[in-house]
Amino acid sequence: MKKRLLAALVSGAMLMGALAGCGSSTAQTSGGDTAQQDYHIKVILKTLASEYWQYVGNGCKKAGEDLGVTVDVIGASSETAYDEQLSMIETTLSSSDCDAMVVAPLQAETVATQIANADLPIVAIDTAIDSDKVLSFVGFNNEELAALGGKAAVEAAKEKGWDKITAIGIMGVQGDSTSEARIAGFKQGITEAGGEYLSAETQYADSVADKAVTCMEAIIQAHPEGVSIIVANNDDMAAGAARAAAAFPAYKDTIFVGVGGNLAGIDAILAGQETMTIAVDGYDVGYLGVQAAVDALNGKTPEKFIATDASVITAENAEERRAEVEKRLGSN
């Protein structure tokens, strides 16, 4: 970083360097070697106000420790605080002490426009950004993981004795690419397994558990006879929906499905509320995102899509998953 500032002073181009934002050459030596420990990477998450995103953030920090770089993790106050995140991104792009940015966008299309003139390495995590400025996307195929969950849910519903299997989704933010991809995946998996996804009755709860409770109450009112499957955008929402339905006998055999595999979701499964979760490894998403940024700074070309695995967690393997998540949440 000191070398870049010195070079800027010598050339008289200090103002132009500041306007250009965060450069990626802060630690280059005259021989082309890289002092990797001087890199400063800014990570901007969708929020830090949930267990899942804390999990992702811990993965980012651990990568920084292992790779010898400085990693700052920030996030919006909620997953609907769009302007707040856009401001964080703008500040990062105009900063003079940032070498690369890792971002989980709340509004991918808007962020794509925002970074159009960026001149630093950018890695997207969790949600893809359609921009040639993004060197790599680290995450999972949301349609595929939701389809996996949809199929598993139908099989579980059959085991519970449901004859006609219907499903309703309580999803995240309407229009969000991740949420919409998961709807498509759930519908595909449920349909292929012999169930029916009631698309017209999809509810949106902004990825917030309290709002999911309200959505579930509306579903119960509309379907006093019960619904076979409730799929949710995350574990907090699935657990909230299950709690809202607990007092209604028609819903005692309903299959509640979440996404994430966080501690709250696992505990809900062990308590007999949430039936299953599609566990995604947010820790690895964060770790690999920072690693891709460091690779780019070191002159390597990261893979355009770095995929992480998803797995179905039920009462049978929830304890094992819990131990793994606890270990990684304790990492810094």
The reply to whether 142-260 shares the fold of 2-136+282-308 is: yes
**N- to C-terminal Cα separation, the chain:** 25
Q: pLDDT digit string (tens) for 233-275?
A: 999 999 999 999 999 999 999 999 999 998 888 999 999 989 9
- Burial (CB < 10 A; 0-12, 13-18, 19+), residue 16, is exposed
Q: Are 92 and 102 a contacting pair, CB within 8 Å?
A: no
Q: Does the pLDDT value for residue 4 go beyond 80?
A: no
Q: Does the pLDDT value for residue 29 go beyond 90?
A: no
pLDDT of residue 331: 52
Q: Which residue has the higher pLDDT, 325 or 155?
A: 155
**Of the listed ranges 22-26, 213-217, 269-273, the one predicted with least confidence:** 22-26
Q: Does the pLDDT value for residue 280 go beyond 50?
A: yes
Q: Does the pLDDT value for residue 28 go beyond 80?
A: no
Contacts by 26-29, CB closer than 8 A, 24 or more apart: 26/1, 26/99, 27/1, 27/3, 27/99, 27/297, 28/3
pLDDT of residue 38: 83
DSSP letter, residue 121:
-
Strand 196-197 with 166-171, pairing: parallel
The CATH number assigned to the domain with range 2-136+282-308 reads 3.40.50.2300
Q: Which two tokens stand for residue 134?
A: 């993004």
% residues pLDDT > 70 (the chain): 88
Indicate the domain borders of the chain: 2-136+282-308, 142-260
pLDDT of residue 34: 42
Q: Does the pLDDT value for residue 33 go beyond 70?
A: no
- Burial (CB < 10 A; 0-12, 13-18, 19+), residue 134, is buried
Q: Does the pLDDT value for residue 22 go beyond 70?
A: no
Q: Which residue has the higher pLDDT, 292 or 51?
A: 292
How many CB atoms neighbour CB 6 within 10 A?
10
pLDDT of residue 50: 85
pLDDT of residue 31: 35
CA 188 to chain centre: 21
Where on the phi/psi map is residue 205: left (φ > 0), alpha (ψ -120 to 50), or beta?
alpha
Q: Does the pLDDT value for residue 32 go beyond 50?
A: no
Choose the CATH number for 142-260 among 3.40.50.2300, 3.40.50.300, 3.40.50.970, 3.40.50.1400: 3.40.50.2300
Mean of all residue pLDDT scores within the chain = 88
pLDDT of residue 2: 38
Q: Does the pLDDT value for residue 327 go beyond 90?
A: no
Q: Does the pLDDT value for residue 319 go beyond 60?
A: yes
Q: What is the mean pLDDT of residues 201-217?
A: 95
**Closest by Cα among 20, 280, 9, 332 to 125:** 280
* Residue 51 pLDDT level (bands cut at 50, 70, 90): confident
Element (H, E) at 306: strand 305-307
Q: Looking up tokens 């949420």, which residue turns up?
A: 179
What is the residue type of 213? V
Q: Does the pLDDT value for residue 13 go beyond 90?
A: no
Element (H, E) at 323: helix 318-329
**Closest by Cα among 49, 55, 113, 59 to 86:** 113
Rounded Cα–Cα distance for residues 55 and 108 (Å) = 21
Q: What is the mean pLDDT of residues 61-74?
A: 97
Q: Does the pLDDT value for residue 100 go beyond 90?
A: yes
Q: Which residue has the higher pLDDT, 1 or 232?
A: 232
* Residue 37 pLDDT level (bands cut at 50, 70, 90): low
